Structures are given as structure tokens and as C-alpha cells.
Amino acid sequence: MSSSAEKVYSNRPAPKKDETRVSLFDRLRYYLPTIIIFFAVLLLWEVLVRALQIKQFIMPAPSSIFEAFRASLAQMIALGVYTGTEALGGFILGCGLGIAVALATARWTAARETLLPLAIAANSVPIIAFAPIMNNWFGITNQTSKMAIVAVITFFPMMINMTRGLTLVDPSALELMRSYAVNEWTVLREVRIPNSLPYMFNAFKICSTLALIGAVVGEFFGGTRDALGVYITQEAALFRFENSWAAIVIACLLGIGFYVLIVAIERLVIPWHASVRKTEE
Amino acid sequence: MSVVSISSVNKIFGKPGENQTIALKDIDLQIEQGEFISLIGPSGCGKSTLLRIIGDLISPTNGTVLVNGKPAPQARENREYGIVFQAPVLFDWRSVEKNVQLPLEIMGKSPHERTARANEMLELVELNGFQKHYPYQLSGGMQQRVSIARALSFNPPLLLMDEPFGALDEITRERLNAELLDIWSRTKTTIVFVTHSIPEAVFLSTRVVVMSARPGRITQIIPIDLPQPRSGETRESPRYYELITQVREGLRGGEGMKE
Ligand SMILES: Nc1ncnc2c1ncn2[C@@H]1O[C@H](COP(=O)(O)OP(=O)(O)OP(=O)(O)O)[C@@H](O)[C@H]1O
Ligand SMILES: [Mg+2]
């Protein structure tokens, strides 16, 4: 008789602690095809460059890029840190302001309705075109000028996404809160902000890519040789293309690292959201 | 004193001069303590509107609504009613137990009291053991039970339900009907319940309010004299079928009055 009672309870599983996480093995298995394709492409590249005897300055082989990378590893890391700092600084500034403005206008429909179309318009402008102006304002050899570019580029997507997240709330959820006779601040804390988190992480992902583009392209317009963008252009001008490529690899690694970091934080912060959670297969 | 007292309530949507909808016309209704009232009528006849006016989610164009002797806005400020929508409206970011605790948190109850109360409510809707689950891990019927537990958690004297079981299959619906009646008899809460299902209205209610559309108005109030507590047997009694027929004819009569 006790077994029947147990049976009832076994139909009601206690949630497993890491139900929302994926085991390391599963994750490896999931990414294995990607990894295989990545190395296959590298191999094909190497073989093609050698077989067709493609000139170094057109397309260096992966092996010579790797060699250049290894030979000046310390310098590569320094370049990555320099430009990464610009991207991160600008990202924090731009996203921070974007979130702040979205929160400030969440309550005032009038302010939001005037600002949002402007932001959407501004977002469709190629802001990177302003890079020379920023270099002029904040100093061309200065990290601040690149951060300013990144901040401007990341501000608009963040503000637009965040505003959507704060306002596209289930109307019934708002009625429920109204039935509890709560103030606007409680609605913001309990409904609007949690609702906006998936939108915010979405914007973080978009902005992480934009931040690196902004920083590197900003450097193309000038700066010191500590900067990735400057290094890439100068080495290319000197026909040392394998060095340019090595620096491009650093830029790629920075971008991927940035993105992966955001995804990891997202998993921790919003495990309940459909983009993150894992249901049993 | 009536729990809900509605006199000469009208609701017109839209500004004068524009396309106006008369959603409710001359509504009078008294609901006594411990009653189970169903609102039934064709789509668009103003059932949801009437429920939302009782709960002060919207205001009537004119007329008065008293809840426990006070104007509806006052009753809302005092948090005198729990509300259940057709969709569960659970917060994805809160676990089942945290969802049930939401009104208690807002009302500043202690964590200890909140946990105890949430457990008690989840027991009541037969969801014990699901405290730490998230809404996406539950079926639609289970989510709706969580939303009922949340509405009951702070012991509101009045429960407003807008087609709470509308999206569920027949079998789940019948089980939840039985559960709801059980909760109703134990908590002594007054319930106003919107439904499209005639058998559901008859099975659950002490009175069925039949409405008709354009303009939305009450055409008939049918007392349901089936013995309490209701059970599977109720659904087999001849009187049950008589009452179903009566409500159905009431609904037809309302249609017939349309020009
Ligand atoms: N916010 C609104 N603005 C304008 N018209 C509205 C609004 N809400 C409801 N109405 C109108 O009021 C009438 C009654 O709507 P209501 O939602 O109360 O109907 P209902 O009886 O609940 O219908 P259903 O059974 O389909 O849920 C409808 O004609 C509808 O178009
Ligand atoms: Mg309705």
C-alpha cells in the first residue's frame, strides 16, 4: 500500500538542480560537428593555398598565420588588451546609458513616444561614419575617442531593445498588479524589469559584436601602434599580411570570447527563459 | 449586506461622436455572501467587461458598484478580491511557490508566513511537490491551478474568474470544476465566474446570470436548486438536465429579442 503512495509521488518529480544546465558531455557532442567543420575548413584552406600556390599577400596559409601569431604572441596579447579595453569601456558606457534612458522613459509614455522613433532612426544611420569626428573630438591617439564611438554605436540598440522589453508586457499581468493596488515602482520591479531581461541580453549580444567593430574600425582612422586596427592597417601597408591576419585572429577571439561570456551570464541570470532553458528531450 | 451590489451600471466604450459600443446597459445585480454566480452569454455580450467593472480594472460609464458596502475602487485598494484570467498569467521568472507568494510579498507578509500559506494553497489545488518548478515545466491545467492558488493565497472575500477553464479539455475541466467547488465550500469565498459552457455554469453555480449582446444586458437570472455538495451524481440527475435546458432557452430568448 505504501508503494502506491510512493508511485503517486514519483509522478511528481522534484525539479533536478541542473535541469536547466547541459552536461559537459552533451555540450561537446552538440558542438562536435561545428568543431569538425572548423578544422576541415582550415585544412582545406591550407591545402588550397599550397596546391594553387597562392601568393602570401593575397591569402596566407593558416600555418603561416599561426607562425606569425606564435612569433609575436606577447605583442598580440597586448594589442588584444588595448583594443578590448576600448570595446569593453565603450560597451559598458553605451549599454549603461541605453538601459538608464530606457528605464527613465518606461514610465513616461510621452517621452518614450518622442524618443523611440528618433532612436530607431539614429540606429539605422551608419554611426561608424562619425569615427573621424570622434577621433577629432577626443584625440586620435586616445583610447577615449574609440570608447566614445563604441558607446554611441551600442547605445541605440540597447535603448531600443530595453524599451521594448519594459513596455511589451502582458496586459493581463498589469491588470493583475492593478488588482493588488500596487504603485508604478512595484510594477517596474516585479513585471517590467524581469520581462525586459531577455531583451537586454539580446541587446548585449548585438552590442558585443558592434563594440568590437566600432573599436577596430575607429582605429583604422588612426591611433597608436598599440591598437589592433592600427596594427592591421600598418602591417598590411608593409605587405606583412600574415601579421595582419594574426591580429585579425585576435579580433575574432576577442569577439567570440565577449559573446560567450554574455551567453554564460545569461544562463545564470535568466534560466527560466525559453532561449536558455533546456527541457527534457 | 450584499458582497457585490451593482445598480444601473452602463458601460460605453469609445468617445462620443466616434464609433461607440454599448458594452453594458442598465445592469442591476446583487450577489450575496457565499454565492457562486456564473455569467453566461454570447461572445461580446459584456461578461468580461462586467467582471472587470466589479474588480475596478475599468470604471463604469455610470451607475454604482459596491463591494462589501464600499465603492469598487476602495475595495480594490483594500485588496478584497482575487482574480483569475483565462490565461494563467504566471510570471516565467518566478517558481511555482514564488508565483503563489506574489500577493503575499506585496502585502508585506513574513517569509515564514508566505511559505506556509503557499504550501497550504498548493495542497488545496493538488500541486504539492511542485513548489520549485517553473511555469514552463507545468501543463496548462497545472498552470491554471497555480493561478487559482495565487488568487486564493491572501484569502480574498471575493473571487473573480474570467473563463478560467476555457482553454482546457473536457476531462481536465470537469476535474478542476470539482476541485473549485471543494475550495469554494472550504473557503466560503464568494465567486463570480464567467463561462461559455452551459453545463459548467449549471453544475457550479448557485445562480446563473444569463446575458445577451448588443447592448449587453441581463435577460434572466436562474437559481440553481441542485443539492450541495455537487458531485458526479449531480451530473446524472434529471433536475440537472432540466436546468441546462432552462439556461439554454434563456440564452435563445436573449438572442430572439434582438431586432
Ligand atoms: N477596451 C475596449 N475598447 C473598446 N471596446 C471594448 C473594449 N473591451 C470590450 N469592448 C467591447 O465591449 C463588448 C463586450 O466585450 P467583453 O469582452 O466584455 O465581451 P465578453 O462577453 O467577455 O465576450 P467573450 O465571451 O468573447 O469573452 C464587445 O463588443 C467589445 O468589442
Ligand atoms: Mg470575455
DSSP-derived secondary structure for B70-93:
EEHHHHHHTT-EEEE-SS----TT
Closest CA to B216 of B171, B254, B188: B254
At residue B136's C-alpha, the angle toward residues B120 and A182, to 5°, is 60
Residue among B12, B25, B8 at smallest CA distance from B61 = B12
Amino acid of residue A254: L
B21 CB within 6 A, ligand 1: yes
Who among A173, A179, A270 is closest to B76 (CB)?
Answer: A179
The nearest alpha carbon in chain A to B136 belongs to A272
Average pLDDT over residues B233-242: 90
For chain A, percent of residues with pLDDT exceeding 70:
90
Could you say which residues from 29 to 58 on chain B have a Cβ atom under 8 Å away from some Cβ of chain A? 52, 55, 57
Q: What is the pLDDT of residue B253?
A: 77
Q: CA B191, CA B207: separation in Å to the nearest integer?
A: 11
CA distance B166 to B38: 14
Q: Nine-digit cell at B239?
A: 433536475
Per-residue pLDDT tens digits for B38-54 = 999 999 999 999 999 99
pLDDT of residue A43: 92
pLDDT above 60: residue A142 = yes
Cβ within 8 Å, pair B106-A180:
yes
The ligand 1 atom at the shortest distance from the C-alpha of residue B194 is: 22
Q: Does B79 contact A14 at a Cβ distance shorter than 8 Å?
A: no
For B223-247, letters b (16+ CB in 10 Å) and e give: ebebeeebeeebbeeeebeebbebb
All residues of chain B having their beta carbon less than 8 Å from the beta carbon of residue A273 are 92-93
Total Cβ atoms within 10 A of residue A29: 11
**Contact indicator for B157, B189 with CB cutoff of 8 Å:** yes
B163 CA closest ligand 1 atom index: 27
Which long-range contacts does B178-182 make (Cβ < 8 Å, 24+ apart)? B178/B231, B179/B125, B179/B126, B179/B145, B180/B148, B180/B204, B181/B36, B181/B229, B181/B230, B182/B229
Q: Is the CB of B119 under 6 A from ligand 1?
A: no
Q: Inform me whether the pLDDT recorded for A125 exceeds 90.
A: no
Q: pLDDT, tens digit, for every residue of B92-150? A: 999 999 999 999 999 999 999 999 999 988 988 888 899 999 999 998 889 999 999 99
* H helix intervals, A124-240: 131-138, 143-167, 171-179, 184-187, 193-220, 228-237
Strand-pairing partners, residue B220, are: B210
State the Rg of chain B over Cα. 19
Torsional sign, CA A220, A223, A226, A231: positive
Which ipTM did the prediction report? 0.88
Question: Ligand 1 atom closest to Cα of B214?
Answer: 29
Segment A224-268, tens digit of pLDDT: 888 899 999 998 888 888 888 899 989 999 999 999 999 999 988
Mean pLDDT score of chain A: 84
Nearest CA distance, A64 vs chain B (angstrom): 50
Looking at residue A10, what is its pLDDT?
37
C-alpha grid cell, residue B25: 446597459
Cβ partners under 8 Å of residue B133, min gap 6: A15, B95, B96
Q: Do B57 and A186 touch (CB under 8 A)?
A: no
Whether the per-residue pLDDT at A275 is higher than 80: the answer is no
| Rounded-to-integer distance, Cα B21 and Cα B18, Å | 9
Which chain A residue's Cα is nearest to B86?
A: A172
Q: Are B179 and B229 in contact (CB under 8 A)?
A: no
| Mean pLDDT of the region B33-37 | 94
Instruction: Note the pLDDT of residue A175.
Output: 93
Could you tell me the distance, in angstroms and rounded to a whole number, from the CA of residue B177 to the centre of ligand 1?
25
β-pairing verdict for B158-162 and B81-84: parallel
A239: left (phi over 0), alpha (psi -120 to 50) or beta: left
Residues A215 and A83: beta-carbon distance below 8 Å: yes
Question: Does A12 or A62 have the greater pLDDT score?
Answer: A62
**In this predicted model, what pLDDT tens digit does every residue of A64-120 receive, in sequence order?**
888 888 888 898 899 999 999 999 999 999 999 999 999 988 877 777 778 888 888
Q: Which three cell numbers mark A269?
A: 541570470
Residue B108 contacts A where some CB pair is shorter than 8 Å: no
pLDDT-derived band at A136, boundaries 50, 70, 90:
confident
Which pairs with CB-CB distance under 8 Å and at least 24 residues apart come from A185-188?
A186/B106, A188/A103, A188/A106, A188/A107
Q: What is the pLDDT of residue A1?
A: 36
Interface touch B106/A182, C-beta < 8 Å: yes
pLDDT of residue A278: 57
Asked if the bond preceding B156 is cis, omega within 30° of 0, the reply is no
Report which of A203, A199, A123 is spatially closest to residue A158, judged by C-alpha positions.
A203
How does the average pLDDT of chain B come out, rounded? 90
Our answer on whether the CB atom of B49 is closer than 6 Å to any ligand 1 atom is yes
Q: Which residues on chain B are in Cβ contact (under 8 Å) with A15?
A: 132-134, 137
Q: Among positive and negative, which fits the CA dihedral A103, A106, A107, A110?
A: positive
